[in-house]
Structure 1
Amino acid sequence: MTGTDIAVRVRGVAKSFGGTRILDDITIDFKKGSVHALVGENGAGKSSVGKIVGGYYSADEGTVELFGQPVTRFSPRDALGRGIAMIHQELQLVPELTVLENVFLGLESSTGGFLRKGDLDRFHALEETCDFGLDPNRRIADMRIAERQKVEIMRAIARDAQVIIMDEPTSSLTEDEADRLHQLIARLKARDVTVIYVSHFLDHIIANCDRVTVMRDGKVIRTDEIAGETKQSLVDSMLGQASEIIWPALPAAPAQNMPPVVEMQNVSTATGLSDISLKVRPGEIVGLIGLVGAGRSEVGRALFGADPITEGSYAVNGQSQQNGRLSVRSAIAQGIALVPEDRRKQGLVLTQVTRPNISLASLGSIASFGFINKARERERTQRMIDHFGIVPGKVDGEVAFYSGGNQQKVLLSKWAVEKPRLLILDEPSRGVDIGARQRIHEFIVEMAAAGVAVLLISSELEEVINLSHRGYLMNDGRIFAEADCRTLTVEDALNRIFQEQGSAPRIKEVPQA
């Protein structure tokens, strides 16, 4: 490629935090008007490369050129001024502002501090390009992660960026929504926009990218054209060895007459659930199967006591909860654990290190007279680090700077350190690499084999079906069917969901699980 073909040129870039080298001698050319994928395990350095290009990190060594011009002192504002926008995996929105205000934040055409009607016209024009169907007046705090992700994408498009860095852009989207995003990316590419695409969805990369750079341990392993690549060839390069993508074998399902750990009968909530009836037995993995917005997360929150129940009955370990209600404190005391879908905002304390993050839900077992036994706390934390393979393996590691997969392992450790009776997992493998995903899947099976009841929520239907004994199919806040996941396929599940919605599927054919 000639210099004029290159949008971004990275040469010999290195970066360290706290003495840990996260990038080493990174050299990559990102061609104008192309979709260039970065793949690798969590901690490989993909997002860090994006943050170097986007001005969020400064390189300790090496050089970066944008459209042939060298970059020295660089910030996100500088990057935006030079046509570089970044869509973060951990979203960077202002919760109390509306969709419209977030999209045009810093670009407002205002008079006396008030947005002009012209901004609404600009939004509708942008919506025609993106086709996301967002309400411009809706508050971000009231939106689900998948919807917030669309707002982040619109923000980048609104800034007329010539290079857009997308970090896990489809991690919370349905297959239909991901297809629409990829159509948008194709339109951007036709306008000569360069897209740097960071993702763990290898099928999406193979179908939609032009080139791919494989990273491992902060280094570039190889950069090649996507033509001729397969999912397996990418996995082998990421892991440094031949490896099969396999689902762990489930333990035997418990007997039907075994008393459930939790049981709901005709439950409704103020968050939109209606007539929910379900049960989860010890040693059983039960999946909630539905599309984004079906009410799956709301079921998990109601079971955990985070959302109040307005109608129906709810029993935990055979004991009916007063008025069907349960507080979070009471849920934890009765052995109920929730790993939420938003690990950074709802699951972890990012101002704390690994040790207190793992201990937070079980301080009573390592404290006496109000004082924590630090030696025991450190021993249990190290045991969890070793068990999950958390990197870096530091008891007092800075969790805020961990990769997404390692943050998720810390969050899982918080509940695994003392075995719960019911483990609710909401999007447990969102935004993690194939190696971390495999470990998380093994952990789910380990919990069930140890007699823990598991409720699994995942937007990846293949994941929830292959890891569950039974499944409840959901739509519009209701459970409309129960299925044996041993005989259910992804295609069957989607057909039943769309039939329930009264519409024909808008997705491509999905391979069987």
Structure 2
Amino acid sequence: KNLSVAQMQLVEIAKALVTNAKIILLDEPTASITGSETTKLFDVIRKLRAQGTAVLFVSHKLEEVYEICDTVTVLRDGVSVLESKSLSEFKQGEIVDLMVGRHLAERKNVIRKIDRTQTPVIELKNLSTALGHKNINLSLYPGEVLGMYGLVGAGRSELARSILGLHAVTAGEIMLNGNQIKIKNFRDALHKFRIGYVTENRKQEGLFLDFPVRKNISVTILSKILQKLSIINPQKEDDIASKYVDRLGIKVVDNNQLALTLSGGNQQKVSVSKWLAADTKILVIDEPTVGVDVRTKASFHELITQLADEGLSIILISSDLAEMVAIADRILVMRRYELVGDLDNSKDYQNMSRSIMNSIQAS
């Protein structure tokens, strides 16, 4: 239980590989692991294939599907739209179109103008944490999407959780709109300072899986929906849930549907909704699109940009470099609990990936 999500993923993969089974099903095995770990996994898969083991590889990462798979089946909304066809017959764009049911145009890489002459909404000054961060300095500006990129173990999530009062800060200052603050715990972060947190591990930390959608969305604003004798007003609760179900396009039978029964993408939208309902001014989003399909990922990217355009300040943590380049305004690079780069995003994937890797290797 003390392992990170990525480490848990590696343990699950190892369990599957040591069974000597004739058929192995790998469901999104690379969702939370690094590129080097993915390479090692693929080497093992190739050896298993050479030994006669059949591998069913479930993934939304098409570049990996093309690298490791021979044939492809495409499912959309629970229905097979392409069955056991050779990958060599299709271009990646054609597979994407089958997955989403329409042509998905590339998102325009618009460079958003962020006014950095304003007072930062949140600023860290020489911040150190009990987990090992030393003298971290960063600023987040109004309406900015600030990316935090690094390999597994870089300390990105841990830094964010320290800002949120979930891990101890041992030195330095946290400034909110120019004023020094102390965040004792996450209750402080949310209710005093309007900071929300979409956790990386939505199933264990982000949702009450056995509760309906309406309760998961309203959990952050209980004081607003209480009536006499501290009883929840069901109509207010349902109205608030409906507002965000409609706004984010969450696919539910009704607001009483259990969060457990939703797809990963819809679960993530519910997780985001509760912070929007709480009227947060700063939102930390950790690995928002791990394990979701291409269409949902695109809609999340649009949602994050829309929220920033509306004035929400966002810290985006992601191991997906393409995602980071697509939607972040500025990218901080972390390595071994240190900030080693602060890069304006040119929206040029090749140039940005080269700059980011140079920052990591130079440190």
Question: Same-fold call, TM > 0.5?
Answer: yes
Aligned residue in 2 for 1:346: 205
Alpha-carbon displacement from aligned partner over 1:305-336 (angstroms, at most 9, x marks no partner): 111101111122333124xx431101001110
Mapped contact 1:263–1:316 kept (Cα < 8 A):
yes
Aligned residue in 1 for 2:287: 427
Residue 497, structure 1, aligned to residue 360, structure 2: yes
> Offset of 1:474 from its aligned partner?
0.8
Which of 267, 276, 282 does residue 142 from structure 2 map onto? Answer: 282
Divergent runs of 4+, >6 A: none
The 3-state SS of whatever aligns with 1:156 is helix
Change (3 A) 1:217 1:256: closer
Q: What is the CA–CA distance in structure 1 between the aligned matches of 2:337 and 2:302, rounded to whole Å?
A: 30
Aligned residue in 2 for 1:390: 250
The 3-state SS of whatever aligns with 2:142 is coil
Q: What is the CA–CA distance in structure 2 between the aligned matches of 1:211 and 1:204, rounded to whole Å?
A: 13
> Offset of 1:251 from its aligned partner?
4.0
> Offset of 1:206 from its aligned partner?
1.1
Q: What is the CA–CA distance in structure 2 between the aligned matches of 1:271 and 1:256, rounded to whole Å?
A: 30
Mapped contact 1:248–1:441 kept (Cα < 8 A):
no
What TM-score does the superposition give when structure 1 sets the normalisation length?
0.67
Residue 217, structure 1, aligned to residue 45, structure 2: no
Aligned residue in 1 for 2:181: 321
> Offset of 1:498 from its aligned partner?
2.1
The 3-state SS of whatever aligns with 1:439 is helix
Where does the alignment leave 5 or more consecutive residues of structure 2 unmatched?
A: none
Alpha-carbon displacement from aligned partner over 1:390-423 (angstroms, at most 9, x marks no partner): 1224201121121111111111111122431110
> Offset of 1:302 from its aligned partner?
1.2
5 Å matches for 1:261-340?
A: 261-322=121-182, 325-333=183-191, 334-340=193-199
The 3-state SS of whatever aligns with 1:367 is coil
> Offset of 1:243 from its aligned partner?
2.2
The 3-state SS of whatever aligns with 1:177 is helix
- Say which is worse superposed, 333-342 or 381-390, in terms of deviation: 381-390
Change (3 A) 1:249 1:393: farther
Residue 482, structure 1, aligned to residue 342, structure 2: yes
**2:198 is matched by which residue type in structure 1?**
V
Residue 234, structure 1, aligned to residue 92, structure 2: no
Residue 412, structure 1, aligned to residue 275, structure 2: no
Change (3 A) 1:247 1:302: farther
> Offset of 1:364 from its aligned partner?
2.0
Alpha-carbon displacement from aligned partner over 1:11-32 (angstroms, at most 9, x marks no partner): xxxxxxxxxxxxxxxxxxxxxx
Bigger fraction of residues in helix: 2
> Offset of 1:250 from its aligned partner?
5.6
Q: What is the CA–CA distance in structure 2 between the aligned matches of 1:373 and 1:248, rounded to whole Å?
A: 44
CA RMSD after TM alignment: 1.6
Which of 228, 232, 244 does residue 105 from structure 2 map onto? Answer: 244
Q: What is the CA–CA distance in structure 1 between the aligned matches of 2:274 and 2:109, rounded to whole Å?
A: 23
The 3-state SS of whatever aligns with 1:267 is strand
> Whose radius of gyration is greater, 1 or 2?
1
Q: What is the CA–CA distance in structure 1 between the aligned matches of 2:224 and 2:72, rounded to whole Å?
A: 48
Q: What is the CA–CA distance in structure 1 between the aligned matches of 2:354 and 2:41, rounded to whole Å?
A: 21
> Offset of 1:199 from its aligned partner?
0.6
Mapped contact 1:251–1:445 kept (Cα < 8 A):
no
5 Å matches for 1:70-469?
A: 95=1, 141=2, 143-223=3-83, 224-246=85-107, 249=110, 251-253=112-114, 255-322=115-182, 325-333=183-191, 334-369=193-228, 370-469=230-329
Mapped contact 2:100–2:294 kept (Cα < 8 A):
no
Q: What is the CA–CA distance in structure 2 between the aligned matches of 1:319 and 1:227, rounded to whole Å?
A: 59
**2:342 is matched by which residue type in structure 1?**
E
Higher relative contact order at CA 8 Å, sep ≥6: structure 1 or structure 2? 2
